Amino acid sequence: MIQNSDVLEPLARWNIPVFTGDSCRVQVSAGEVLTILGANGSGKSALASWMPKNSQSSTIRRVLAQRKLWFTQSGPSITPADRQSHFAHIAQWDQDYSSRYLDHYDAQRSGIALYDISAKINHENSERVDRYEKGMSTEDVNKMLGPRVLEIFNQILQISGLNIEISVDVTGNFSAKHLASEESYPIHLMSDGEKSALLLAAEIITASSGTTFIIDEPERHLHRAISDELIKAIIDTRSDCGFVVLTHDLDLAASLSEQNGKTLTVFGVRWEGEQAVQWDLHEIATDDSLSETARQAILGGRKNILFIEGETTSYDLSLYRVLFPEWLLVPSGGCDTVIRSVTGLRASENFHWVKAQGLVDGDWRSEDEKESLVGRGIHVLPVSEIENLYYTSEMLEAVAEQQSLTLGYDPQLTVEVAKKEALKALGKNGTLERLTGHLAKSVVARKLVEQMPDKVDANPIEITFESPYPQILSEMQGHLNFGRYDDLIKALPIRNTPVRDGIAKGLKFQNYQDYETAALHRLRNSPQPQDYLNITIEEPSQL
């Protein structure tokens, strides 16, 4: 590994002009990574070309992902004089505004990378020979000079998941060997991903100590499965250098944000003619209270986030999107993650621009519990689960009215039949008792968390409270006996019960899936679909 320098001063500083008219002051020290995340068109490449020209640093090196990935041969094709000339021209070109979309030196960049690693190998060999001639042992030489550059190089490739090994023959040509098949081939026959990894690693490993690298979209040409580990492994070998990584890969940004250094998100850029003059930049503070879901949402550059229960593959997500079209919806698994994500974001709101709220299932929550959650930005559904919304009287009546226009059925009669079928299904085969048990279990889980002791020692732990089951069952049986359809539908988790099919057939649908499709269509065509929820969630901000 290349040793970290003892220099404590920053290697590079910038005062980046921002939309407010002020400047965003950032710096990079040895071993640090400044991560800048932004979507395509947000101004990342413009910033990458602005930074070399406007840095308070003497050694800046820009690394482009959009280089050409072909070699004319498998070894260095330039002379030392060519290398010096090309490198000077590239450094000057990288400061030109048009370098963000045009590169006159794409072929030369690849040639320089191969030349530099070949020169590094030759220099290592010369140093080792010199020390052997002075009588030093192999052990002492290895201890003094450390691992060879090809050892470091191949270790990086294999850590990243590229199952290849690079070697150089006596003629100075490089070849790659696939470690599984043992097949060897010249590097000009490698895949684009392998070439990209080779060039990126070669450019950084061989650079001078104290260099600050500006790496623009390193994920290009790299499979997502290897880009994170490759880039982190390269950075880890150069703790004597600083890094600025500009990317639109959310996973890569999240991974790099765990390194020493800052993370910024760029939303946009302002131009004067062909010159970029200001950026919409925001810093993302490191905050251990944020869940991974919340951190991913911030890194994604989102401003209005609604955390919900469920998974990204959940069918319920379509319903949420109709109800909350202006929000970024983040399915977060269970209610605990929703609560933790919203709470963490709100606790650190001085360090980001995100407006976050949450929405959790009803789950027989008390009025005090609902009030407490709302005070923390977390709203409680008026139904046990979001899909229960399809089965409220108001929704049944809306769908039945639409059905009557096409099929000619009496909408009031079909709704009455549907409700009777639902009540009948709830009264059969212990269904009411089973659903009550689910609700009671949710209540017990929350009570256990509330009564968790602050301190645990060798003494026995006793947590005792009355089972909520009898009270809930009594209320549900009362609703059933008096035919209180909506009270039952709002309270009970009816997802995996015959209740849904009974309602659907009462409304002349083949099955509940067809009915829910019709209900979702009705919601989409409603002027205010959120009114069906009967809760108020603050309008998203217009930052």
Whether residue 33 is found in the same domain as residue 166: yes
Whether 458 maps to a domain, the answer reads: no
Structure confidence by residue, pLDDT tens digits, 73-108:
666 666 667 666 655 656 655 566 555 555 555 666
Residues 233, 159 contacting (CB under 8 angstroms): yes
Spatial neighbors of 173 by CB under 8 A, at least 6 apart, are 73, 74, 75, 186
- Which residues span the domain enclosing 522? 386-452+467-543
pLDDT by residue (tens digit) across 356-379?
A: 899 999 999 999 999 999 999 999
Give the end of a domain, one of 381, 408, 435: 381
> Does any domain span residue 47?
yes
* Shared domain check, 374 and 261: no
Treating both helix axes as pointing N-terminal to C-terminal, what angle do 138-145 and 106-133 enclose, rounded to 10 degrees? 140
Domain boundary among 331, 361, 381: 381
The SS3 of residue 327 is coil
Which residue's entry shows tokens 């370098």?
Answer: 99
What is the chain's alpha carbon radius of gyration, rounded to the nearest angstrom?
31
Distances (CA, A) of 269 to 19, 23, 41, 106, 226: 8, 14, 8, 26, 30
Q: Determine which of 28-32, 287-291, 398-402, 456-460 has the lowest per-residue pLDDT on average.
A: 287-291
pLDDT at 286 over 80: no
**What pLDDT band is residue 228 in, cutting at 50, 70 and 90?**
confident
Q: What is the mean pLDDT of residues 10-34?
A: 92
Q: Which helix or strand (DSSP H or E) is residue 284 part of?
A: strand 275-284
Same domain, 160 and 40: yes
Residue 312 and residue 264 share a domain: no
pLDDT at 4: 40
Residues 305 and 277 in one domain: no
The mean per-residue pLDDT over the stretch 442-460 comes to 89
Residues 6+ apart with CB under 8 A from 436: 469, 472, 473, 476, 492
208 belongs to a structural domain: yes
* Co-location of 229 and 82 in the same domain: yes
**Rounded distance between C-alpha atoms, residue 49 and residue 97, angstroms:** 6
Q: How far apart are CA 250 and CA 328, in angstroms?
A: 15
Can you give the CATH number for the domain in which 214 is found? 3.40.50
Structure-block tokens of residue 255: 């991974």
pLDDT digits (tens, 9 = 90+) for 233-261: 888 889 999 999 998 887 788 788 878 88
What whole-number distance in Å separates Cα of residue 342 and Cα of residue 353? 13
pLDDT digits (tens, 9 = 90+) for 496-541: 899 999 999 999 999 999 999 999 988 888 888 878 777 667 665 5
| 3-class state of residue 166 by DSSP | strand
Would residue 254 be called left, alpha or beta, if left means φ above 0 and alpha means ψ between -120 and 50 degrees? Answer: alpha
Amino acid at 434: R
Q: Does 55 share its domain with 114?
A: yes
Q: Are strands 174-178 and 164-168 parallel, antiparallel or unpaired?
A: antiparallel
Distance CA 348, CA 317 (A): 28
The residue with tokens 């191969």 is 114
pLDDT at 211 over 90: yes
Does the residue 447 lie in any domain? yes
24 and 167 fall within a common domain: yes
Residue range 153-163: mean pLDDT, rounded:
85
Q: Which SS3 state, helix, strand or coil, does residue 45 take?
A: helix
CA–CA separation, 67 vs 110, rounded Å? 8
Strand-pair category, 33-37 with 355-360: unpaired
Each as own residue / partner, the long-range contacts of residues 444-447 (CB below 8 Å, 24 or more positions apart, any chain) are 444/468, 446/363, 446/365, 446/369
Beta-strand runs (E) in 18-79: 23-28, 33-37, 60-64
Task: List, in order, residues 6 or more apart from 60 with CB less than 8 Å away.
Answer: 12, 51, 52, 211, 212, 214
Q: Is residue 4 a part of any domain in this protein?
A: no
Per-residue pLDDT, 230: 86
Reduced to 3 states (helix: H, G, I; strand: E, B; else coil), residue 329 is strand
Looking at residue 252, what is its pLDDT?
Answer: 82
When pLDDT is cut at 50, 70 and 90, the band that residue 283 belongs to is confident
Tokens of 211: 């260099």
Q: For the chain, report the end-to-end CA distance as a whole number of angstroms.
A: 45
Residues 294 and 346 reside in one and the same domain = yes
Count of domains observed in the chain = 3
Q: Do both 375 and 399 map to the same domain?
A: no
Instruction: Kindly report which listed range (23-37, 98-112, 430-444) carries the lowest average pLDDT score.
Output: 98-112
Q: Of 381, 400, 429, which one is at a domain's C-terminal end?
A: 381
Residues 342 and 322 in one domain: yes
pTM of the model: 0.57
Helices (H) and strands (E) in the chain, counts: 19, 15
Structure tokens at 186: 């010249």
Same domain, 431 and 370: no
* Closest listed residue to residue 228, CA positions, set 256, 209, 202, 208: 256
The residue among 380, 360, 392 whose CA lies nearest residue 522 is 392
Residue of 263, 259, 346, 359 lying closest to 306 (CA atoms): 359
2, part of any domain: no
